[in-house]
Amino acid sequence: MRAVQTIPDPVNRFASRLLGTPALRQLSALQKEEQAMAVLRTNGAQLLPVFLSLGLDVSRGWREPAALVSRAIRAEADAMMASEVADLLSTRLSFSFFPGLAGGRQAPERAREELRALIARAAAHPVSRNALSGSLVIVRSDIIEKYIPQAWVRKKYIYVEISRVQRLTISAADLSDLTRFVVLVRPAAYLFVTPGETVEKDTGYTPLQEQYIQKILPGIASQAPSLPGALLNLGLRSSIGFTATGGLEATARMGAIMAMRGRALSPSLVVDRGADSPDKSWFNVQRRNARWHALDGRMLDELYTIAAENGW
Amino acid sequence: MRRVGEILETVVVVAIILVLVHTFLDDFAVIAGWGVRARSWLIWAGLGFDLFFTMEFFTRLYVALSNRQGTTYFFRERGWVDFLASIPLLLLNSLPHALALLAGAGLLSGLGSFLNVLKVIKAVRIARILRLLRVVKLFRGIRYARSPMAQGHVSSITTIAVSILVLWMLTASILETAGIIPGLEGPFSQGQAARAASITEAGPGAPGLTQKAAAIASLDRTILAVRPQGGAVVWSRYSASYYAENFLAGDYGYLLAGGVEVFLDERPLAVAAAREGLVFFIAVMLTMLAFLFIYAPRFALQISDPIHVMNRGMSENEYNLEVHIPPEHVADDVFELAALYNSVYLPLKDRLGSQGGAPAPALKIDDLRDLAEGK
C-alpha cells in the first residue's frame, strides 16, 4: 500500500495565499475551493512552472503535483469552512422556531453543536460537500430574510401553503430561521449517495426519493439526538423532488429552492447595464425549469414577482 | 510603442478640446471688443493649432501609407476630416492672419496697399467654418461607449450630421460672398462707400477737406480717418495709440478715390460675422452633445446593451442574467431576440449545466503564478 505523501510547507502556504487572494474575497470557503480546483483542473499542464517553483517533482507530468496542491487547497478550505460554519451557526441561526415545532421546548444547548457536527460530516463526503456549498452561500446571504417577510405580507401562495396547508403557526422571522436550518440540514441527505452517480454540476442537487429519505433518517437522527426527528426530516425532505400530488411540506420546498439559489449565487457578479437583476433572472429561469429541477413552480412564480417588484 | 501612441492620442484629444475653446473665444473676442493684445494671442494660438493638426494629418497619412492603408485612412477612418480641418485652415485662415499681424497692418500709418490683402483674408474667412469639423475628431479620441459597435455607430452618424451642417454653412458663406444670396456685407459696404465718396469727391487739394471729412464722419461713425494719398492725415476719429491698441488688420476698410484715402471701421461687420460664427459653433456643439448624451444612451439601451448581455450569456458559463426588456420596446427586433434568449436559451443552458460554454473563473493562471512567487 502506497503511503500518503505529506504536503510540503510551501504548498500549504501557497494554498493559503491562493484562497486568501482578493479575487476570491467575497466567496464562501467552498466557493473559493471550487474556483481554485477549476483553475487547477483546466490549466494543469500550464501550471508546471508554478509546481516547479513550489519544489514539487514534475518529472511524471502535472497530475501528481496538481493532486498534492488540490489536497492542500481542500485542507485549507476545510479550516476556513470550519470557522465559517461556526460563525454562521452563532450569528445566522437562533433556533427561534424550535418552541413552535418541538412542543414548546427551547433548543437544547447541544443542538447547535450537533448541527455543526452534521455539517462537518457532510463536508467530508464528496456529494454532500457539493450540496453544502449552495447551502452555506444562501445562509451567508440575506436572501432568505428578504423574501420570507415579503411573502408573509403578501399572504398569497407561500403564506397559504405554510400557514394553512402545512399548519405552521410561526412568525416570518422564525420561518426565515427555520428555512436556514432546513437548508443546512439538506446536504446530509446526500451522505449516502455514491459519488459519480450524477453529472458533476448536479452533484448534491439531484432530487432524491421519499423512501430513501425515510431509510436514512434514523441513522442521521441518531447522530443528532437533540434535534427532533420531525425537524431533521424537514431538512432531509428538502432534497425530495416536488410533484403537485406529493404532499411535500412547503418549508421543504422553500428550502430546496433556496439551496438551489445558493448554488447559483455569485456575490462578485457585476450586473451589466441592460441586464435584469440576478434574483429576478434566476427565479424567472427556474420558473421555466421548475419541472426539470422538480421545484415548486408556483412558489417560484411568487418569488419571481417579489424580486421583480423590489428590483432584486 | 503602444504607450507612446496612447499618449499622443491623449494629446490630440486635449488639443481638440482646447481648439474648440479657442474657436469660441476667437468669435467671442470680436463681439466683446477685446483689445489687440488678446486677439493677437488668439491669432498665434490659432496658427499653433492649425500647424499641430496639419502635422497630425501628415503623420497619420504617413503611417497609413506606410501600412498601405492610405485609402482606408482617408475615406473610412475619416482622414478627410483631418485634412479639411487642418491644411485649408492653415493656408487660408491662420497663416494669412499671422502674416498680417507680423506686417504691422494694425497701425494706421501702415501701407494702404497692404490693406487690399486684407480683402483676400476676409474672403477666405469663410474657411474658418471648417474648424467646426474638429468636433467630429473628438469622437475618435474619446471612448464614450463600452461597445465598439455603439462607438462606431454614433461616431458615423455624428460625422454625417456635423459634416452636412458645416458643409452647408460653408456653401452658404461662399454664395453670400459671391453675392448670389444677400448678406450683411453688401448693404454695409455700399453705405460706407457712398459716404466716403462724398468726402473724396472734393479731391486732395480742396481747402475744406478736413471740415468735410469731420462733417460726414459725424454722420457715419465707421469713418476713421482721411488723408490725401500718401500725405499726412487731415482728420482722424482716434489717436494713433488707440488704433494700435484696438485695431487689427481685418478691422479696417479702405477706399481710395480722387487722390483721397478714407479708412473705414469694419468692426461692426466683423461682430456680425462673429455672431454668425458663434451661432454655427453652438449649433454644431449642440448637435454633437445631442448625439453624445441623448442618442448614444438610447442606442446603448436599445441595441448594444442587450446584445452585450446575450453575448456574455452565450460565452460565459456562469453568466445567467436575463436581458431587461423595456415594455415600450417589446416589439423591437433586438428585444424579440432577447425574449427568445430569456425564455428559451437561458433555461436550456441551465438544464445543460456545465456544457453551456467555457467557464469564467474569478482566478486566472497569472494569479497562481504570482502567488507561487510570493508576490
**A25 inside 8 A of chain B by CB:** no
d(CA B62, CA B100): 32
CA B2 vs CA B60, B140, B147: distances in Å: 15, 17, 21
Question: Would the CB atoms of A18 and B363 count as touching at under 8 Å?
Answer: yes
| Alpha-carbon dihedral sign for residues B136, B141, B142, B147 | positive
Closest chain A residue to B304 measured between Cα atoms? Answer: A274
Name the pairing type of β-strands B223-228 and B235-236.
Answer: antiparallel
Question: Would the CB atoms of B362 and A274 count as touching at under 8 Å?
Answer: no
The pLDDT score that the predictor gives to residue B122 is: 55
Long-range contact pairs involving A213-219 (C-beta distance under 8 Å, separation at least 24): A213/A189, A213/A237, A213/A239, A213/A240, A216/A189, A216/A191, A216/A192
d(CA A93, CA A174): 10
Short-list A257, A112, A122, CA closest to A183 = A257
Closest chain B residue to A44 measured between Cα atoms? Answer: B365
Question: Would the CB atoms of B361 and A53 count as touching at under 8 Å?
Answer: no
**A54 inside 8 A of chain B by CB:** yes
Percentage with pLDDT > 70 across chain A: 96
User: In B, which residues are within 8 Å of A286 by CB distance?
Assistant: 350
The set of cell numbers assigned to A289 is 425549469
The pLDDT score that the predictor gives to residue B206 is: 67
The pLDDT score that the predictor gives to residue A4 is: 66
d(CA B91, CA B235): 37
d(CA A116, CA B240): 99
Contact residues for B143 (Cβ-Cβ < 8 A; gap 6+):
B151
CA A56 vs CA A17, A103, B52, B181: distances in Å: 17, 58, 59, 87
Q: What are phi and psi of B318, to 5 degrees?
A: -95, 5
Contact residues for B278 (Cβ-Cβ < 8 A; gap 6+):
B24, B27, B28, B31
Over residues A24-38, the mean pLDDT reads 86
User: In B, which residues are within 8 Å of A65 by CB distance?
Assistant: none
Q: What are phi and psi of A256, to 5 degrees?
A: -65, -45
* Best of A28, A272, A292 to mutate (most B CBs within 10 Å, chain B): A272
Short-list A199, A289, A280, A272, CA closest to B344 = A289
**A45 inside 8 A of chain B by CB:** no
Of residues A261 and B370, the one with the higher pLDDT is A261
d(CA B263, CA B266): 9
d(CA B260, CA B227): 6
Residue with cell 449552495: A134
User: In B, which residues are within 8 Å of A281 by CB distance?
Assistant: 320-322, 346
The pLDDT score that the predictor gives to residue A218 is: 92
The set of cell numbers assigned to B340 is 427568445
Contact residues for A189 (Cβ-Cβ < 8 A; gap 6+):
A128, A131, A208, A213, A216, A235, A236, A238, A239
The pLDDT score that the predictor gives to residue B119 is: 53
Q: Computed over its alpha carbons, how large is the radius of gyration of chain A?
A: 21
| Alpha-carbon dihedral sign for residues B101, B103, B109, B112 | negative
User: In A, which residues are within 8 Å of B351 by CB distance?
Assistant: 289, 292
The pLDDT score that the predictor gives to residue B189 is: 76
Closest chain A residue to B307 measured between Cα atoms? Answer: A274
The pLDDT score that the predictor gives to residue A43 is: 80
Question: Which parts of chain B are beta strand (E)?
Answer: 223-228, 235-236, 252-257, 260-265
Residue with cell 505529506: A6
Say how many C-beta atoms besides its own lie within 10 A of residue A56's C-beta: 20
Q: Is the predicted ipTM greater than 0.90, yes or no?
A: no
> Cα distance from A32 to chain B (closest Cα, Å)?
9
Question: First vs last Cα of chain A: how many Å apart?
Answer: 55
What's the burial of A209, exposed, middle or buried (CB within 10 Å: 0-12/13-18/19+)? exposed
Residue with cell 405580507: A153
Question: Would the CB atoms of B350 and A286 count as touching at under 8 Å?
Answer: yes
Contact residues for B222 (Cβ-Cβ < 8 A; gap 6+):
B192, B253, B264, B265, B266, B268
d(CA A222, CA A114): 10
Q: Tell me the range of A207-216, A303-312, B84-93 where mean pLDDT is highest.
A: A303-312
Contact B275, B28 (CB under 8 A): no
A108 — pLDDT class (breaks 50, 70, 90)? confident
Per residue in A41-54, pLDDT tens? 888 778 888 888 88
Say how many C-beta atoms besides its own lie within 10 A of residue A249's C-beta: 20
d(CA B146, CA A274): 12
Q: What is the pTM of this model?
A: 0.77
Question: Would the CB atoms of B350 and A42 count as touching at under 8 Å?
Answer: no
Closest chain B residue to A308 measured between Cα atoms? Answer: B324
d(CA B311, CA A58): 39
User: In B, which residues are within 8 Å of A278 by CB distance?
Assistant: 321
d(CA B326, CA A287): 20
Reading chain B (375 residues) residue by residue, the pLDDT tens digits are 677 778 888 898 899 999 999 999 999 999 999 999 999 999 999 999 999 999 999 999 999 999 999 999 999 888 998 999 899 889 888 888 888 888 765 444 444 444 455 455 555 566 778 888 888 887 776 777 778 888 888 888 988 998 998 888 888 888 887 778 877 667 777 788 888 888 887 777 667 788 888 888 888 888 899 888 878 888 899 998 898 888 887 787 888 888 888 888 988 888 988 898 899 899 999 998 999 899 998 999 999 999 999 999 999 888 899 999 999 999 999 999 999 999 999 999 998 874 333 345 667 777 777 776 654
Q: Residue A164 — left, alpha, or beta (φ > 0 → left; ψ -120 to 50 → alpha)?
A: alpha
Question: Would the CB atoms of A21 and B363 count as touching at under 8 Å?
Answer: yes
Closest chain A residue to B364 measured between Cα atoms? Answer: A39
User: In B, which residues are within 8 Å of A260 by CB distance?
Assistant: none
CA A104 vs CA A96, A99, A101, A175: distances in Å: 11, 4, 7, 16
**A305 inside 8 A of chain B by CB:** no
The pLDDT score that the predictor gives to residue B184 is: 66
Q: Which amino acid makes up residue B108?
A: L
